[in-house]
Structure 1
Amino acid sequence: MAPALWPRLSRMLWLACLLPLAPARVAADLYELRLTADGPATTGAEVTITASLVADDNGSLVLPASTHLYRFHWLHTPLLLTGKTDEAFSSTIRAVGNTAGDFPVSVWVTTADCWMCQPVARSLFVLPITEFLVGNLLVTQNTSLPWPSSYLTKTVLKVSFLLHDPSNFFKAASFLYSWDFGDGTQMVTEDATVYYNYSIIGSFTVKVKVVAEWEQATLDAGKRIVQKTGDFSASLKLQETLQGIQVSGPTLIQTFQKMIVTLDFLGSPPLNVCWRLKPECLPLEEGECHPVSVDSTAYNLTHIFRDPGDYCFSIRAENAISKTHQYHKIQVWPSSIQPAVFAFPCATLITMMLAFIMYMTLRNAAHQKDMVEVADFDFSPMSDKNPEPPTGVRCCCQMCCGPFMLETPSEYLEVVRENHGLLPPLYKSVKTYTV
């Protein structure tokens, strides 16, 4: 009977081992493990690392109410563990690295009653350890600017070194700071904060060398001086605000003439320049025109007006720290000299008109010649041999040659008297004397 019970008992033990795995497999798809650390750290300083078990679907799930359901397992070699704290769904360790390097730290979570079972969640990250000081430079200015790393000239800058020491490892150390502002100015201070004023525009790199020094006890009950250093830097871009735009150019111009307007910017480049012609001097709205990049303090605008009228150049310029507007009014008059594009049609029209006039003149001259030839007719007394001329010819002859066709001299004289009443008589009376 004992041999018969043994297979049944082995199956029961096997099922008992599988039971803890069931919730673990389900939970493995529902939760994740998040790691946070206060590194990087310098050698000898203590580092704090925390692992937290959270729901994997943005918090819609809730963790079990039991506070002893899961166990956290850490792997941190070669870091030296100095402390560990476990809570309901998180675990925190403190470790020290005595050598420099990048050290992997891993952690996984299992059910509390089966640490050899499939993990509910796991995570891994790399902790950097360095031999040098850890920190950074912070540069601030009273003027609030929306552009990063951009600052104003002739305005005081505050430069501070911030030491990263969450474990208060350097509480007994004294510090010395050697500053280099990149414009030829250097100084040494014992304070981590300095104030400096750049007088010129340009790009600079401010550097600081930090030396930390303190006493440390030795194994033979003695003391020795320990020193750590670090080099830090920050890039700065010093600029001047745009005080305005000086516009040089004509205010009166004719159509179809090339106009050049010079813009002088009272500020530091690079600039984004935008301009547009408007009937009135109004500011430019965002997106109303396309900006042009300008790398100098001067820029030339060129334009040709095709229609007369009153116009206004609306100009906007901005650099990395400021912007400004300017306006330039101009009056456009009609041009006295038409452009070449209209010269050819006008010349063609005039030529056609002159050709038409000459044609009509020559035609009239030919017509008059025909009339003269008709007038050259035999005006001897009318007879059967010379029939009466046409009415038109007769009329012309009567007007032009009528006086010469009169039959008697008395008729001619009568006509002359009628037409020239003031003319003296053609003959004088002859006085007769009686003896």
Structure 2
Amino acid sequence: MALALWPRVSHILWLSCLLPSAPAVVAAGRYELRLVTDSPATTGAEMTITASLVSSDNGSLVLPTNTHFYRFHWIHSPLLLREKTEEAFSSTVRAVGSVPGDFPVSVWVTAANCGMCQPVARSLLVLSVSEFLVGNLVITQNTSLPWPGSYLTKTVLKLSFLLHDPSDFFKTAWFLYRWDFGDGTLLVTEDSTVYYNYSIIGTVTVKLKVVAEWEQTTLDAGKGIVQKKGDFSASLKLQETLRGIQVSGPTQIQTFQKMTVTLNFLGSPPLTVCWHLTAECLPPEEGECRPAPVAGTAYNLTHTFRDPGDYCFSIRAQNVVSKTHQYHRIQVWPSSIQPAVFAFPCATLITMMLAFIMYMTLRSAAHQKDLAEVADLDFPPMSDKNPEPPAGVKCCQMCCGPFLLETPSEYLEVVRENHGLLPPLYKSVKTYTV
């Protein structure tokens, strides 16, 4: 009889064990477990981990009103548990790491009366424990820049060390700070905040060494001095504001001549230069510019004008700190030297004109030379026996007679002989006596 009743009794006991866990099974997947910690920490310092049970759909579900309905289970070994507290739907533990390393901590939630039942929610995180000091090197400036890690040169910087000690583990320690500003300057202070003004541009690395000492009581040696150190660094991009652009170049030029304009930037590189050529001096719009990266503080801009007129170079430069605009007007005149398409016809015409002028000059010189040779001939003397001169002499007398005769009377006589039918050159004048 007892053997026959045992299966029924075991079945009833199994159902009674599942009854407390029924709400948890129903709630599985409807909640999630969120973990928050103040890790990392140095060895010997306490770390706090808080687990909170919340609705998985951001609070649309209502949590049970019974605060003792769930139980939180923690696994934190090898961390040493110092304290554990539980509140409504949350649990907090405080643990200490005696050795450095990364240690996983897991937690899950079950029904309060059924620790072996299916968890409602579970979560896991890793705590970091260091043998060195934990903190951050913070650098600020009155002028904030939109680029991370970029700061203005020749402007005061505030450098501060923020110790991460939420458990007040170093409340009795004294600190010493050794600063290396990366430009050859070293400084030792007892204050965690210093002010520094850089006069250079470029990238520098600030290094900080922190030493903490305090007195601690030990079981074997009584009181002793305990020391912890930490090394920290930060990279700074020191930039100089772009104060303007100096433009040097011609203001007048002829067409089809290559123009070069030199741009000198009053700021720290690298920069992005953008220029646009228009009839009016207006800031270039997006898409109208011709961007060009510039690694230095100078840039040569070249352009060749094909049409005369008044133009304006609209120049925009920008570095990681600021940007600026500049304009340069230039007047383009028609070129006295035409393009190559007109050069050959013009050269041909000029060559033909020069050849014609040289031909006419040489021809005139040859004609004058012939006249001079005829004038210098020696003629034989004329006699009574040979009254007729040679043919050449007669021609010479007709053409050049006026220049060879000695007196005007001789000239008139020659004219009468050769032009007998012509009237006399003068009329006789009659004289009357009264």
- TM tier, shorter chain? 0.7 to 0.9
**Structure 1 unaligned blocks of 5 or more:** 351-425, 429-435
Is the CA contact (8 Å cut-off) linking 2:50 and 2:90 kept in structure 1?
yes
Q: C-alpha distance in 1, partners of 2:139/2:285?
A: 34
Aligned-pair CA distance for 1:63: 2.0
Match of 2:84 in 1: 84
Q: 1:287 to 1:94 in 2, by over 3 A?
A: farther
Query: How far apart are 1:253 and its partner, in Å?
Result: 1.6
Cross-structure match for 1:317: 317
Secondary structure of 1:16's partner? helix
Aligned residues of 1:20 and 1:117 also touching (Cα < 8 A) = no
Aligned AA for 2:240?
A: E
Q: Match of 1:71, as an amino acid?
A: R
State the SS of the aligned residue for 2:256. Answer: coil
| Structure 2 CA distance for partners of 1:140 and 1:7, relative to 1, 3 Å | same
Seen in structure 2, the aligned counterparts of structure 1 residues 300 and 324 have a Cα distance that, compared at 3 Å, is same
Report the equivalent of 1:270.
270
The residue identity in structure 2 corresponding to 1:143 is: T
Offset, 1:261: 0.9
Preserved CA contact (<8 Å) 2:216 2:225:
yes
1:101 paired residue number: 101
Mapped contact 2:247–2:262 kept (Cα < 8 A)? yes
Mark the CA change 1:6 to 1:349 in structure 2 (over 3 Å): closer, same or farther. Answer: farther
Matches within 5 A, 1:35-114: 35-114=35-114
Percent of aligned positions with the same letter in both sequences?
A: 78
State the one-letter code of the partner of 2:25: R
Equivalent in the alignment of 2:163: 163
| Counterparts of 1:23 and 1:295, CA distance in 2 | 69
Aligned residue for 1:12, secondary structure, equals helix
Kindly indicate whether residue 243 of structure 2 is the aligned counterpart of residue 209 of structure 1. no
- How many Å apart are 1:310 and its aligned residue? 1.4
State the distance in 1 between where 2:63 and 2:277 align. Answer: 66
Distance 1:95 1:269, change over 3 A: same
Following TM superposition, by how much is the alpha carbon of 1:15 offset from its aligned partner in structure 2, in angstroms? Answer: 2.5
Q: What residue is the counterpart of 1:153 in the other structure? A: 153
Q: Is this contact kept in 2: 1:241–1:267, CA < 8 A?
A: yes
> 1:140-186: CA deviations, max 9, x gaps?
11112111111111111111111000001000000000111111110
The 1:292–1:20 alpha-carbon spacing in structure 2 relative to 1, beyond 3 Å, is farther
* Residues 140/115 of structure 1: CA separation in 2 closer, same or farther (3 Å cut): same
Letter in 2 for 1:338: Q
Instruction: Note the C-alpha offset of 1:304.
Output: 1.7
CA contact (8 A) 2:183 2:204 kept: yes
Give the equivalent residue in structure 1 for 2:190: 190
- The 5-angstrom pairing of residues 115-134 of structure 1 reads 115-134=115-134
Q: Which amino acid aligns with 1:253?
A: I
Taking the aligned partners of 2:250 and 2:290, their CA distance within structure 1 comes to 24
1:269 partner amino acid: P
**Partner Cα separation in structure 1 for residue 422 and residue 307 of structure 2:** 79
- The aligned counterpart of 1:259 is 259
Structure 2 letter corresponding to 1:90:
S
How far the C-alpha of 1:245 sits from its partner, in A, is 0.4
* RMSD, aligned α-carbons: 2.6
Distance 1:253 1:231 in 2: 62
Corresponding residue number in structure 2 for 1:238: 238
Q: What is the alpha-carbon distance in structure 2 between the residues aligned to residue 279 and residue 174 of structure 1? A: 69
Q: Is the 8 A contact 2:276 2:290 kept in 1?
A: no
Give the CA deviation at 1:239.
1.7
Q: Aligned residue pairs: how many?
A: 357
Q: Deviations over 1:269-294 (max 9, x none)?
A: 01111111122111233454253221
| Residues 33, 254 of structure 1: alpha-carbon distance in 2 compared, 3 angstrom cutoff | same
CA distance in 2, matches of 1:286, 1:28: 56
User: 1:300: which partner in 2?
Assistant: 300
User: Offset of 1:427 from its aligned partner?
Assistant: 8.7
Give the secondary-structure state (helix, strand or coil) at the position aligned to 1:19.
Answer: helix
Secondary structure at the counterpart of residue 227 of structure 1: strand
Distance 1:64 1:288, change over 3 A: farther
Task: Please give the TM-score of this superposition, normalised by the length of structure 1.
Answer: 0.77
Q: Show the counterpart of 1:357.
A: none
Q: How far apart, CA to CA, are the structure 2 residues paired with 1:427 and 1:205?
A: 122
Question: Offset of 1:307 from its aligned partner?
Answer: 2.1
Give CA-to-partner distance per residue, 1:73-95, whole Å, 9 cap, x none: 00001111111111111111001
Contact 1:314 1:326 in 2 (8 A): yes
Q: Distance in 1 between matches of 2:202 and 2:78?
A: 47
Which secondary structure does the structure 1 equivalent of 2:188 belong to?
strand
In the alignment, which residue of structure 1 is the partner of 2:228?
228
- Where structure 2 has 5 or more consecutive residues not aligned to the other structure, the ranges are 350-420, 424-434
Compared CA separation, residues 334 and 225, structure 1 to 2 (3 A): same
1:279 is matched with 279
Whether the aligned pair in 1 keeps the contact of 2:21 and 2:113 (CA below 8 Å) is no
Say if 1:427 and 1:155 are closer, same or farther in 2 by CA, change over 3 A. Answer: closer
Separation in 2, partners of 1:285, 1:427 = 97
User: Which letter does structure 2 place at the counterpart of 1:297?
Assistant: T
Aligned structure 1 segments of 4 or more residues deviating by more than 4 angstroms = 341-344, 346-350
1:408 counterpart residue number: none
